[in-house]
Structures are given as C-alpha cells and as structure tokens.
Amino acid sequence: MRVDVLTLFTAMFDGPLNESILKRAQADGRLDAHIHDIRTYATDKHHTCDDAPFGGGAGMVMKIAPLAAAIEDISSADGAPAHVIYLTPDGTTLTQAIAQELSRKPRLMLICGHYEGIDERIRTRYVHQELSIGDYVLTGGELAAMVVIDAVARLLDGVISADSLAEESHSDSLLEYPHYTRPALWQEMPVPPVLRSGDHGKIAVWRRQQRLERTYLRRPELLSTAILDKADRAFLRSLGWYDSLWTQHPPRRAKPKAESE
C-alpha cells in the first residue's frame, strides 16, 4: 500500500515510521510511506500556508492554494488514484472496521490540518473521507494520521502474523483475554491454574469467558454487535447481563389501543 501524508510538520513522522513494525513493513515493501511538506507548495517568498478566517474570529485557516497544489501534484503521481482522508475532530470516529476497509485500498492520502483547520472548499473538492481518532482535541492531524497508518499497516498482508490478528480486541467486538508469562508466582499473585493445566479445551473455554466478562464489565455496548452462541449467552446471563430484545432487534411497536379505551 502507498500512503502519502500532507503536513506542515514532516519531522513528527520520523519516529513512528522508523521503529518496530512500521519500519519493517516499509523495508519489506508492504508499506510505501511518503511524507510531504505542504509548505514547499506555497509560491510566495515566505511560503505562507495560513490566513485569517473570513467572518473574523480566533485562529488561522490553512490556505487553499498550497494544499490544492500539493494534492493535485501528489495524487496524480504514478499509479492508482488515492483515497483522500482529512484528519479532523469532526470526522467519523476511527474503528477497527474502518481500519480494515482502508487496508484493502491500494493507496491513501492523509491530509493533516493545523490551526483552526483547512478551507472548507478543499474538503468539498478533494476529500473522500473525514476521520477523527476520538472525542478530544489534538493540536493537529499529525498524531491522528500516525494512528491511522499504524492501525491500517498492521492489517496489510504479511505485516504481522494471521494468528495475532485473529483473537485481538475489537476484531470481533470482544476485548482480549488476559495474558501471563513466567514466573508462575509473582508477589503472591499466581497465574490462573487452568493456564498451567495442559487442558487446551478448558483453556479455550476460560479465555472465551474472560473475553466475555471483560467486555461485559468494561464495554457492554460492544456485546450488541458480537457474535454470541448459546454458551456465551448463558455465561453472560450468569454475570447479570440480559440480551434484551431492545438491543437485538428494532423495538416492537406497542399494541394499538382498543376502540373503547
């Protein structure tokens, strides 16, 4: 996958792209990341990229011309047209399902805004999708772009093992089971005995129940999209959960009142 990032702060990407899994994904040719400085597309002497907002108010807005020139230049450069994403706190919140969709695209372009954001007409003309990474405000889109790159790159074929992807949090709307490694006893805290029993059937049941319990206690809303079998439901009910018709199906309409009432 090719990823082009448009930013005023290229150096912010140096660390995340040059360590660990993202570094290896690039070395292996699975991720082809290009970080572009929007400022180099500004044509005036001072390479101005921001301007005062029409209508007044606080802060500055990123100018159209340098951004438009960068987008047109880079999105037409070799190969498939890019899926263009603008990182903004008013975008759709990134989810694992969105990361999965994006991982199937051949090419992404990530536009990072700063100041109060970019001119609305750039969004109208060029942007296919607007993404946020959560309900809090960052100083700019760069950290969000790195989050998108990381979440997507690890899903590309061969970047990490299929086994690791299979049972992880959010892949099937359930949180992960807890992990343990040696020593078996640490500060009077033993590893759950079932994990040392050698009984793989029992271990699988225990792990499934841990996932269900954690999800129920921490993120109960996720259970409405999880695929649950009879045993899962019985276990959850033993914890106090009930699978109400209200969350599983559209609410039923009340019976119409009898004529006489």
Residues that bind ligand 6GU (CB under 6 A): 87-89, 132-134, 136-138, 140-141, 144
Which residue's CB is nearer to ligand 6GU, number 142 or number 232? 142
Kindly state the smallest distance separating residue 133's Cβ from ligand 6GU, in Å: 4
Q: How far is CA 79 from CA 75, 76, 127, in A?
A: 9, 8, 18
**Which alpha helices (DSSP H) does 58-141 contain, by range?**
64-75, 96-103, 120-126
Alpha helices (H) along the chain: 14-17, 20-27, 64-75, 96-103, 120-126, 142-153, 162-166, 200-218, 230-238, 245-248
DSSP H or E segment with residue 132: strand 129-132
Q: Give the length of the chain.
A: 261
Taking the complex as a whole, the smallest distance from the CB of residue 237 to ligand 6GU amounts, in Å, to 37
- State the residue for tokens 């999880």: 226
Q: Minimum distance from CB of 132 to ligand 6GU (Å)?
A: 4
In the bound state with ligand 6GU, the residue whose beta carbon lies nearer, of 53 and 140, is: 140
CB of 72 to ligand 6GU, least distance (A): 23
Which residues partner with 3 through β-bridges?
Answer: 33, 108
Q: Which CB sits closer to ligand 6GU, 133 or 151?
A: 133
Q: Which two structure tokens, joined as six digits, stand for 256?
A: 């119409």
Locus of tokens 């090419």: 107
Q: Which is nearer to ligand 6GU, 148 or 236 (CB)?
A: 148
**Least Cβ distance, residue 34 to ligand 6GU (angstroms):** 20
**Which of 58/258 has CB closer to ligand 6GU?**
58
Shortest distance, CB of residue 130 to ligand 6GU, whole angstroms?
8
Rounded CA separation 259/257 (Å): 6
**Which of 111/174 has CB closer to ligand 6GU?**
111
Residue pair 40/6 in contact by the 8 Å Cβ criterion = no
Tell me the backbone φ, ψ of residue 126, rounded to 5 degrees: -115, -25
